[in-house]
């Protein structure tokens, strides 16, 4: 229900629909859909176990199995088709760069990612030329022409006030000169390196998500089996009580 509430709030507070073009799915709608599905799934499991309803328990077990298999398939496909995944991530990042100024939430997300991973742009800092404000063409009248966002800039020790114009004209410089002021490496390579260096952590997270699902599937099937055994026992007792020779 929290996920549904957050999704509804995000949907109602959205100011620019153009910013959604950078993502394959609207995050607000995704939160609402996932929240509703989680609520329905847990409702089936909770009520099914309390009321010992075989139909609800089997629905819960089946849905949980499907979710687990989809997660497993997504992980395998992502590993096998890593090049296509990389291309899709590159496309999403480039689209996000295009719509950087269209939505404040998207802007803050990109700035956070670039500062967190110490990167700039998708492949390199010159990817920011995809944005109409940072475009480096001669006919661009923007004051931010050939610039990059401040989140691309190298941190300055003991800086009390953030210099939001530190990336001014950086796209016009070559890699060596620009690297003295900003991050020149793209975020895609940084993200791939981070994944490779944290494979054990990611594996632990995946295992932590998989184990409760498997336990839920197992326990629901055990409970269904016990309920069926109780029903058979009750039917057996009723038959023998109706038998005059019993």
- pLDDT surpassing 60 at residue 217: yes
Q: How far apart are CA 37 and CA 53, in angstroms?
A: 20
Helix (H) or strand (E) holding 74, with range, is helix 54-80
Question: H/E element holding 109?
Answer: helix 104-117
Q: What is the pLDDT of residue 20?
A: 46
Are the CB atoms for 101 and 135 separated by under 8 Å? no
User: What is residue 63's predicted lDDT score, i.e. its pLDDT?
Assistant: 92
Q: Number of C-alpha atoms within 13 angstroms, CB side, residue 8? A: 7
- The residue ranges of every structural domain in the chain are 1-17+26-51, 52-234
CB 119 within 8 A of CB 128: no
CA distance 53 to 42: 14
Class of domain 52-234: mainly alpha
pTM of the model as a whole: 0.69
- Give the model confidence (pLDDT) of 123-163 as tens digits: 999 999 999 999 999 899 999 999 999 999 998 887 778 88
Asked if 133 and 142 touch (Cβ cutoff 8 Å), the reply is yes
109 closest CA partner among 182, 201, 192, 27: 27
Cβ atoms within 10 Å of 140's Cβ, excluding its own: 15
Nearest residue to 203 via CA among 79, 105, 35: 79
185 pairs with which residues across the strands?
Answer: 124
pLDDT tens figures, 15-73: 444 444 444 456 667 778 888 888 999 899 999 989 889 999 999 999 999 999 998 89
């Amino acid at each position: 229900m929290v996920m549904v509430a957050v999704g509804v709030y995000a949907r109602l507070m959205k100011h620019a629909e153009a910013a959604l073009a950078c993502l394959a799915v609207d995050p607000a709608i995704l939160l609402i859909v996932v929240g509703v599905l989680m609520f329905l799934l847990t409702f089936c499991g909770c009520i099914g176990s309390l009321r010992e309803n075989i139909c609800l328990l089997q629905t819960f077990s089946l849905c949980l199995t499907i979710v687990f298999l989809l997660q497993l398939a997504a992980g395998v496909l992502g590993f096998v088709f890593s090049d296509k995944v990389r291309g899709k991530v590159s496309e999403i990042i480039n689209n996000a760069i295009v719509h950087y100024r269209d939505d404040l939430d998207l802007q803050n997300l990109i700035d956070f990612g670039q500062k967190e991973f110490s990167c700039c742009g998708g492949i390199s800092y010159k990817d920011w030329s995809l944005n109409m404000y940072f475009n480096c063409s001669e006919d661009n009248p923007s004051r931010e022409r050939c610039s990059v966002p401040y989140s691309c800039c190298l941190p300055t020790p003991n800086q009390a006030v953030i210099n939001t114009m530190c990336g001014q004209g950086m796209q016009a410089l070559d890699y060596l000169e620009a690297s003295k002021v900003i991050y020149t490496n793209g975020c895609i390579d940084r993200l791939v390196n981070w994944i490779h260096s944290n494979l054990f952590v990611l594996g632990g997270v995946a295992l932590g998500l998989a184990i409760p699902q498997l336990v839920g599937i197992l326990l629901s099937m055990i409970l269904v089996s016990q309920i069926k055994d109780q029903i058979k026992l009750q039917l057996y007792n009723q038959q023998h009580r109706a038998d005059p020779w019993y």
